[in-house]
Structure 1
């Protein structure tokens, strides 16, 4: 199964509970901005950034 990052940050579907972490969300947007700045034409990188195998979020970033 695949997770869309922003949804995974805000809501943990498996445990059915909210897990809002400002630092993680901030890190997500900083990394996304870097990715768009440096690889703006590489759509496969954007796709890989948003869709990733079902892993813990903290181990990915």
Structure 2
């Protein structure tokens, strides 16, 4: 069985690593990374409450 013959393992592993390195290095180096997004100013919208303000003053005295 040729799998048990360990004399060729080093050459096989070395050739596979060299091939993958030469094939993947240009592919990875050509990848364009997107720039970080710029923070957008957030605008808070006023929430319109359906409750009457006379009733909410009982529960929310600071309103």
Q: Which structure's relative contact order is higher, taking Cα pairs within 8 Å and 6+ residues apart?
A: 1
Bigger share in strand: 1
The structure whose Rg is larger is: 2
Give your verdict on TM over 0.5: no
| TM-score normalised over the length of structure 1 | 0.31
| TM-score normalised over the length of structure 2 | 0.31
